[in-house]
Structure 1
Amino acid sequence: MRILQQTIFIFLLIIFLAAMPSIIVINPNELNIFFDFSHLGKLYGQFITELASGSLGTYQLGDQVRLISEDIKGNFMISLFILLIGVLAAVIIGLLFGVFLSRFIITRFFNMLLNILATIPDFILIVFSLVLAIKIYEVTGVRIISLRPDAGALNLWYPIVLTGIAPTLYMFKLLAVQYYQTSGEDYIRTAVSKGMRVNYINFQHVYKNIEPFIIAELTKVVSLAIGNLFIIEYLLNVPGITKFIFQNNEFQPISIGLFSMLLISLIVYFSIRLLLYIFKRGFIYE
């Protein structure tokens, strides 16, 4: 019952957000903004009718009216790939430097770098990274980004890096704190006093106690990546799912885009959960 209530609430919230551009009206005579809810019933009715008929509806692309179902697959896969690799990299880097490599000197320099980056807002960090990429091209002639939507890998790897920055910062700080707290527990001191190797202790004792914190914070990690993805796909002209959200104010493509983004976040979340489960079953002794 609770899951059903959450599903209904999320559905209603998404279609309401998708309808916002349609219900916000600007009065040119009085120069004010007001809300016109008279079209909501019609919009919702058309949306449900389209889905019931097995169609996702249409959207306007320049002078063309195109079917969403014909164009959305490629955009969906691009956004899914960027988000999945970005979040996966954040988890792996967080585990490596926050737990398994935390005793090495290089981790201290990595920690200092992340502390500096953590003080900069995400949007400023993304814009600064774009400016840096342009400067590198001007000085060296090496193109590391492209604003063309058909640039292939050149239009993907940099968005992946930028998408993973905020989740990596958050995951590393979280795991670093949890690692030092766990390392002070009596059972860890007992394991050290028995002469157990550090890697064995990290795998068999520390990780098992840190894993619940990773799973609990995974939703926030994914949400941070999604927030950056909206900005990055728009600024870098990435042909992702946000194309349907930003390119016009039509209710149908915006709602489909938002639902697709929700589906992408769920796929990424459960994919990371599955990988963590496989890692635990393969390397951790129960």
Structure 2
Amino acid sequence: MRILQQAVFIFIIIIFLAAIPAIIEINPLEKNITWNLSQMDQMYVEFIRELARGSLGTYQLGGQVRYIAADITKNFFTSFSILLVGVLAAVVTGLLFGLFLSRFTVTRIINILLNILAAIPDFILIIFSLVLAIKIYEVTGVRMIAFRPDAGALNTWFPMMLTAIAPTLYMFKLIAVKYYQTSGEDYIRTAVSKGMPANYINFQHVYKNIEPFIIAELTKVVSLAIGNLFIIEYLLNVPGVTKFIFQSNQFQPITIGLFSMLLISLIVYFSIRIVLYLFKRGLIYE
């Protein structure tokens, strides 16, 4: 019942957000904003009517009117792959440097660097990365980014890296803090005094106590990646789901884009949960 209530609430929020560009009107003479709520009923009825027909509706791209169903699949998998790789890279990097490699000197240097980067807003880091990639191309001729939607791999791997920035910083700090807190517990000291190997202690004792915190914060990690994805797909002209949100002020494509992004985030979340479960079942002794 609780899940059903949350689903209904999310549905209402999404369709309301999608309707905002159409119901807000700006009066240039009086220089004020008015809300034209009378259109909402018609938009909702038309949205449900399109779904009942088995159609997702149309959207306007430049001077063309295209069917959403014809383009949504490719765009969906583009955004999904970028988000999945970005979140997975954040979790793996956080575990490696925040837990399993934390005792090495190079990790301490990386920790200092990441703490400095964590103080910089995500948007600034993304802009700086784009400028750096352009400068590298000017100096070496190596192209790392492309602003064309048909650029192939250049539209995927660099956005994946940028999407992973904020989640990686967050995961690394979270795991590093929990690692140092857990390392001071009595059972860890007992394991060290018995001469157990560091890797064994990290796998069998430390990780098992840190895992609940990782799972609890996984929703925030995914949300950070989604926030970056919106910025990156817009700036790099990536043909993802956000195209339906940014390139049109129509209710139908914005709604489909938002629901698609919600579905992507749920799939990515449960995919990471499965990866963590397989990791625990395969390498952690129960």
TM-score interval, normalised by the smaller of the two chains? over 0.9
Listed one character per residue, the Cα deviations across residues 183-225 of structure 1 (whole Å, up to 9, x for unaligned) are 1101111111111110001000000000000000000000000
- Structure 2: 5+ residue stretches without partners: none
Instruction: State the alpha-carbon separation in 2 of the partners of residues 25 and 177 from structure 1.
Output: 48
Match of 2:205 in 1: 205
**Runs of 4 or more off by more than 6 Å in structure 1?**
none
Moved more, 231-240 or 23-32: 23-32
Instruction: State the alpha-carbon separation in 1 of the partners of residues 116 and 184 from structure 2.
Output: 27
- Structure 1: 5+ residue stretches without partners: none
Instruction: State the alpha-carbon separation in 1 of the partners of residues 157 and 117 from structure 2.
Output: 20
In structure 2, the residue corresponding to 1:135 is in which secondary structure?
Answer: helix
Match of 2:86 in 1: 86
Q: Percent identity?
A: 78
Matching of residue 6 in structure 1 with residue 6 in structure 2: yes
Q: Which amino acid aligns with 1:263?
A: L
Instruction: State the alpha-carbon separation in 2 of the partners of residues 154 and 258 from structure 1.
Output: 25
Match of 1:279 in 2: 279
TM-score, normalisation: structure 2: 0.99
Instruction: State the alpha-carbon separation in 2 of the partners of residues 30 and 208 from structure 1.
Output: 62
In structure 1, the residue corresponding to 2:34 is in which secondary structure?
Answer: strand
Match of 2:188 in 1: 188
Listed one character per residue, the Cα deviations across residues 137-165 of structure 1 (whole Å, up to 9, x for unaligned) are 11111111111111111121111111000
In structure 2, the residue corresponding to 1:240 is in which secondary structure?
Answer: coil
In structure 2, the residue corresponding to 1:25 is in which secondary structure?
Answer: strand
Listed one character per residue, the Cα deviations across residues 228-265 of structure 1 (whole Å, up to 9, x for unaligned) are 00000000010010000000100000000000000000
Match of 1:23 in 2: 23
Match of 1:126 in 2: 126
Q: Which amino acid aligns with 2:129?
A: S
Match of 1:253 in 2: 253
Measured after TM superposition, the shift of residue 90 of structure 1 is 0.2
Instruction: State the alpha-carbon separation in 1 of the partners of residues 281 and 127 from structure 2.
Output: 41
Instruction: State the alpha-carbon separation in 1 of the partners of residues 131 and 34 from structure 2.
Output: 38
Instruction: State the alpha-carbon separation in 2 of the partners of residues 62 and 164 from structure 1.
Output: 31
TM-score, normalisation: structure 1: 0.99
Instruction: State the alpha-carbon separation in 2 of the partners of residues 187 and 108 from structure 1.
Output: 25
Q: Which amino acid aligns with 1:278?
A: L
Instruction: State the alpha-carbon separation in 2 of the partners of residues 248 and 4 from structure 1.
Output: 30
Instruction: State the alpha-carbon separation in 1 of the partners of residues 28 and 120 from structure 2.
Output: 39
Listed one character per residue, the Cα deviations across residues 106-133 of structure 1 (whole Å, up to 9, x for unaligned) are 1011101101111110011111111111
Q: Within 5 Å, which residues of 2 pair with 1:211-226?
A: 211-226=211-226
Q: Which amino acid aligns with 1:39?
A: Q
Match of 1:55 in 2: 55
RMSD: 0.7
In structure 2, the residue corresponding to 1:161 is in which secondary structure?
Answer: helix
Listed one character per residue, the Cα deviations across residues 44-67 of structure 1 (whole Å, up to 9, x for unaligned) are 011111112211111111222111
In structure 2, the residue corresponding to 1:249 is in which secondary structure?
Answer: coil
What is the number of equivalent residue pairs in this alignment? 286
Instruction: State the alpha-carbon separation in 2 of the partners of residues 146 and 244 from structure 1.
Output: 20
Instruction: State the alpha-carbon separation in 1 of the partners of residues 143 and 249 from structure 2.
Output: 33
Match of 2:265 in 1: 265
